[in-house]
Amino acid sequence: MQVFLPRKEKMVLKYIKDIIFLFMTVVGTLGNMSVSVNYTFSCWGSPEKKPIYLILIHMAFTNILILLAKGLPKTIAAFGLRNFLDDIGCKTIVYLERVARGLSICTSSLLTVVQAIIISPRTSGWRRLRPKSAWHILPFFSFFWILNALISTNLIHSIRSTSLNISQHINDENYCYFMLENQKIKLIVLHLMVLRDAVFQGAMGGASGYMVFLLHKHHQHVLYLQNSKLLYRTPPELRAAQSVFLLMLCFVFFYWTDCALSLIISISARENSLMVNTRNFLALGYATFCPFVLIHRDGLWLNFGMLCGRN
């Protein structure tokens, strides 16, 4: 009995892992679809198309791409159906996953910056940068797609399906593997990715810090009014700013924990399956929980719907 116990434990752990992958993929996809449909109708019914709606719709669409490109194939592979993708399918899935990851960083940064501009005081110079219509936001989306599509082009040449040559080194995805590529190209792509992440996360951090400062001033103002026994209702754009800030904290947690685990795994002499699986869950974490952060915060559809209405 003792001989088979470790095997049984592995089977149980694998089953639990498979269920978690399936749960995160399905629930996350449904949640993002719900957010996307809600803001699409809000945008459609609005007298002027609110830029913040488009950012949230794009974020939900990006999350769906991540879940479908990374979560769905991993779930299928985890349940025993390996080599279900041919070479073209492998290139497409891994390429979309990389592009979607970059889009997530860029869109989250744009959301934070636009939100910080929206809640800035009327006398602030930042107020003049506030987007007035959807046409001011769409060029950013085009730039994000082009940028991330170009950065990820090396994957088209370096990804192969395991069904073509299973003697090659197979990564933890179980359905695709990375071929050895030119070190010069690899370094160029790595530097571009680091530069992209640094720029957009720097903008995100600066905007988040500015929002914390404005929210702190607002909190002090509320305390003063309460001490003066005056009634005061928090403006909807400030409630939305609190939600965006919470969303950014969620993003930072999943992103940097994922980076830390990736670094540990890459320098580790032995492969740690627990760390690999944890990293895979974290890669889906933000895309899964993001819509529910928006849904949970006091009926955020209404708050975001009123986001640009004040002034």
Which pLDDT score, from 0 to 100, does residue 106 have?
94
Residue 37: CB atoms within 10 A of its CB come to 12
d(CA 299, CA 289): 16
CA distance linking residue 42 with residue 154, whole number of Å? 39
Domains of the chain: 5-305 (1.20.1070.10)
DSSP annotation of 125: G
- Give residue-wise pLDDT tens across range 214-223: 777 766 655 5
* 253 membership: H or E segment, kind and range: helix 236-267
pTM of the predicted structure, to 2 decimals: 0.81
Q: What is the pLDDT of residue 215?
A: 76
With a cut of 70, list the residues of the chain below it in pLDDT. Answer: 1-10, 45-49, 77-84, 161-175, 177, 180-181, 218-240, 269-272, 297-311
Give 264-288 as a DSSP string. Answer: HHHH-SS--HHHHHHHHHHHHHHHH
| pLDDT at site 147 | 94
